[in-house]
Structure 1
Amino acid sequence: MAWIASVVVSLALAVSGATVADDVPVGVLEVMDCAVGDDGTMLEQACGGGNLSKPHAVYMWTSGFLADEDGAPVDASHEWIAVRLDADGVVQGTALAWEPTEAEYELAGYDNGVELGELVLMFAAGAPPDAHLVHDAPSGAWYMLADDTVTPLNDWASQIVPGATPLGDARALIAEEHRRSVEACRGVDGCAGGGGDAGVVDLASQGAQPPVVLWTVGAIIGALALALGVTAVALRRRAA
């Protein structure tokens, strides 16, 4: 599949044997620790008799980057993703933690997205230490940002940025697809972008976004849409 080829490209950029050095808050590690999961809790269900990998911070593009302004290209989304592994170490999907309020962490949800889980594992194993895992929620695209180079990690990202590309050259491509995806969400409840009424800058500057279903274009459906869909259901049940 195309996403595999994209990950191979990212690995070719990596420092041999390096792993991503995420600064993961202790609170995130605690809410994603399968050893403390009780029967019937979301954590116990996410672990499923197996384990969760080390969480990795998820970043998002800044409003300045999307608006072609100077400044940092990414910012923390206050979300962390871990891979769900069964007792034999086989990928079962992913789990997501987030920070709804400062210094308070929750398990936001989990999914059966094996492809996304494998992608995260390969990113963690092969990316340079300073690499960022970047998720553009409106478009459903996942990227690696390292050494001012953007590398697409999933199928949809590879349709936006075809391969490892200098950050300056990739900016216009990423920003345009971000705008299209936000526009496609306008007036659609539950769509990534808060119902579609937020512009590009507003959406990117809102900080942590609860995981939501991506009702944008057909190419986004599949593993990622399923993943975020399950997470959204979990969040709604917790809020009920």
Structure 2
Amino acid sequence: MKIDLTGKIALVTGSNAGIGRQILQTLAASGAKVAVNYLLGSAEETVDAICQAGGEAYAFQADATSPAQLDNMVKEIEEHFGGTIDILVNNAGGMIKRVPNIEMNEEHYNKVMDVNFKSCVFACKAVAAGMIAKKSGKIINVSSLAAHDGGGPGASVYAAGKAAVWSYTKGLAKELSPHGINVNAISPGFIGQTAFHATFTADAARQATIAKIPLGREGAPQDVSNVALFLASELSDYLTGEIIEINGGLFMR
């Protein structure tokens, strides 16, 4: 069965690389018009790759931790594509760096919580009015396996931010379900081919983690984007307030 998102407008925050970029490409391949959100550098390569594959994409620069910039970006997206956003994927996030709690300062705490949780809250707020008006919408929040176990060394605040995404997803699902809007979250485990583990995970730790995964391999961005595609489609119409684990069996609830 081919999922058809033709005519849908999708925004994926933090989507110029890694998992976010793969989600964009997967949604575009199914017919969605996709908004590439980035903060630093250029999104030209991402947009070109999607367009060359037959999709429709446009880049929008905005800081996902700024409510004002998110509001402005949503308006620009709606003007460019000629409609309100149908699909929001809150992918913006990151650990910034590993900091033991004894070395924690307010600046680092705010940076981590803002990019992982505040961005999610205010991106949802920015698109909610449009979705409510047309009585439909799909919101997909990206959490992490770290929300279960506290993450690795120096990642306690990052893990807490991702756990907050869980609770927020459930609360928002209750709030928006009367308006025909589905709100769910995906919780990736050890996903390779991204800058995250290349930056924060030593090779020995990587190999030790892979050895514990029942399916015998680390995940790939496509494994995550496949689930995001399902949640963005009508196949998930009776699913809301759920967190879907994507970890090869590393953690089972």
Using structure 1 for the length normalisation, give the TM-score. Answer: 0.26
Using structure 2 for the length normalisation, give the TM-score. Answer: 0.25
- Structure showing the higher helix proportion among its residues: 2
- Structure showing the higher strand proportion among its residues: 1
